[in-house]
Amino acid sequence: MTDSLTANQEAYQTLMNDINHAFMCLEETPFDDAPNICDGDMKLLDAAVKRFKTTVWENQLLD
């Protein structure tokens, strides 16, 4: 088995990192004190998903 990732696996890892970064505040506070998710957080999520979808689409064009 190879240690290298496919382009789509790399895109997925980037998506997960972007999501974790956007919602990091939810992990840093106790459950009952977690802050609300704001519009800015949702925009970061939308941008991360759009970037992932575009990257996967482009990768599959190259196959």
- Per-residue confidence (pLDDT) for residue 59, from 0 to 100: 94
- Per-residue confidence (pLDDT) for residue 33, from 0 to 100: 76
> Cβ distance 62 to 11 under 8 Å?
no
- Per-residue confidence (pLDDT) for residue 35, from 0 to 100: 79
- Per-residue confidence (pLDDT) for residue 2, from 0 to 100: 57
- Other CB atoms within a 10 A radius of the CB of residue 16 amount to 12
> Cβ distance 12 to 42 under 8 Å?
no
- Per-residue confidence (pLDDT) for residue 62, from 0 to 100: 83
pLDDT digits (tens, 9 = 90+) for 3-60: 799 999 999 999 999 999 998 877 777 767 777 888 999 999 999 999 999 999 999 9
Q: H or E stretch including 56? A: helix 39-62
Cα separation, 14 vs 28, whole angstroms = 21
